[in-house]
Amino acid sequence: MYDNVNPFEEVKKQINIVREKADIDSTVADQLKHPRQIITVSIPIKMDNDDLKIFTGYRVQYNMWRGPYKGGIRYHPSVELDEVKALAAWMTFKTSVVDIPYGGAKGGIVCDPKTMSCTELERLTRRYTSMIMDVIGPFKDVPAPDVGTDSQTMAWIMDTYSSIKGYSIPEIVTGKPINLGGSQGREGATGLSVAICARIAANKIGLKLSGARVAVQGYGKVGYATAKSLNEMGCKIIALSDTKGCIVNQKGIDPQKAKEFKNKTGSIYGLEGCNKIPLNDLLEIDCDILVPAALENSITENNCDKIKAKIISEGANGPTTPKADETLFEKGVFVVPDVLANAGGVTVSYFEWVQNLNRDRWSLAEVNKRLEERMINSFEEVHAFSEQMNASMRTAAYVLALKRLEEAHLKLGLFP
C-alpha cells in the first residue's frame, strides 16, 4: 500500500462521503461497511523440492443483495486481509454501477507466483479450491482471475470443483480458456472498458483522441489492453511503467512491441528508443490521459497536485484515495473511477456466466457490442448524477451504486 494508506478504511470513508451527500438509509450504509463473511485458510502444499510450505488464503464475501457473490482471486506477496476486503467492497459497488445481477467478493493467496513453478501453482490452486468448496458455487460465489492469476488458474478451479461434484460445471468460474467455456473478449475486456470510458470523457471535455498523449502506470494485462485500445482509437502512448521502472517516448510507443519486449525480458524497462525515468514520476508526466493500472492507493493527497493529465481513467482498483479525488475534482481533472472504468472485466464475466448457464456461445463482435452499450449507458447515468449533484464522477458512481443496493435491501428486508 502506498503512503501506508489502508484501502478498506478508504472504502468506509467513501461510503461516509456518499451518505452525507445523498439520502442513503443509515442501516444500509452501516451494513455496507462490513463484509458478510470472511474465510481464512491455511493451505499446505508440497513444493517441487519436497518441502512442505503453508500459504495463507482468503475469500471475502462482501454483499449479495443484488445477486451471487462475484470477484477475482489475487496471487501476490503483498495480499493482506484489509486489501481483500476493500477489493470485495469495490466489486459490490462496481456490479451495482453497471447494473449486473451480482454482489461482490474477492479472494487472495499470499504468494509470489513469479517464483513458483506451474506444478506448484496448480497444487496451490487445487488445494485452495477444495478448502473453499462449501462457500463457492455457480449461484453462490463465482471467482475470476485477478493480479497474478489467469485463465489457466480458472481452468484448475473449474476442474477441481467439477471433479468433486461429479460433472462439468463451467459456470463455477469466469475468465476460463475459450475452449473450456470462456467468453470471447474476456481477456481484454477490462482494458477495453477503461479505453471506452476515456474516449467518452474526452468527448465530454472536447479533447480530440487523435494524437492525445497517454501515460499508463502498470503494464500488465489491463495496462496493455488499455494502451492497445487507446492506440487503435488514435491516441499516442508516450509513457509506460511496470515494477522495474518507467519508459518515455514523446514520439509514441508501440503497445505490441512493448508487450513483446516485456515477455522476452521480464520488463518494459530498457525498450529501445525510450528514455528511462524514476518509477513514480509517471503519474506526474505531462499527458492528456493518465491510466493508473497498477495497485491501489497510487494517487494520494501527497502527489495529486502534481498530476497534469486532463483525464484519468482508472484501470486498477482503488488507485485514488477519496481525499485525492476531491482535490482532482477541484482542479478540473476528469476522473473516471475504477467502479465504472474497469467494470468491463466483470461485465464480460457476467456475459460468460450467462453463456455457460445456457450452454451458448457468443461471437467477439456480439460480446464487444454488448460491452460497448453497457459501458456507454453506465457512463451516461453516472455523468448525469455528477452534473446534477455538482460532484465528482466517483461520488456520483457511489451514489448510483448505493441507491441500487439500498433499493434491493429495503425490498428484501432483514432476515430473520
Q: How far apart are CA 370 and CA 351, in angstroms?
A: 9
C-alpha–C-alpha distance, residues 7 and 396, integer Å = 20
Measure the CA–CA gap between 369 and 362, rounded to whole angstroms. Answer: 11
DSSP designation for 268: S
Q: Which residues of 311-326 are buried (b: 16+ CB within 10 A; e: fewer)?
A: bbbbbbbbbbbbbbbb
Taking a C-beta distance cutoff of 8 angstroms, is the pair 60, 80 a contact?
A: no
DSSP labels for 233-264?
Answer: TT-EEEEEEETTEEEE-TT---HHHHHHHHHH
Measure the CA dihedral 352/195/95/34, to 10°.
130
Cα distance between residue 260 and residue 237, in whole Å? 16
* Cα 86 to Cα 90: distance, rounded to the nearest angstrom: 6
Amino acid at 21: K
Distance CA 392, CA 160 (A): 44
CB of 241 closer than 8 Å to CB of 218: yes
Residue 206: C-alpha distances to residues 201, 212, 361 (Å): 9, 12, 38
Contact 313, 199 (CB under 8 A): no
Sign of the torsion angle spanned by Cα atoms 356, 358, 362, 367: negative
Q: Cell triple for residue 383?
A: 455523468
* Catalytically annotated residue among 12, 106, 236, 310: 106
Per the annotation, the verdict on 106 as an active-site residue is yes
Query: What contacts 169, CB < 8 A, 6 or more positions away?
Result: 138, 158, 161, 162
Neighbours of 110 (CB within 10 A): 17
Question: What are the residues whose beta carbons fall under 8 Å from the beta carbon of 2, sequence distance 6 or more?
Answer: 295, 296, 297, 298, 300
Strand 141-145 vs strand 213-217: parallel, antiparallel, or unpaired? Answer: unpaired
The residues assigned a catalytic role are 106
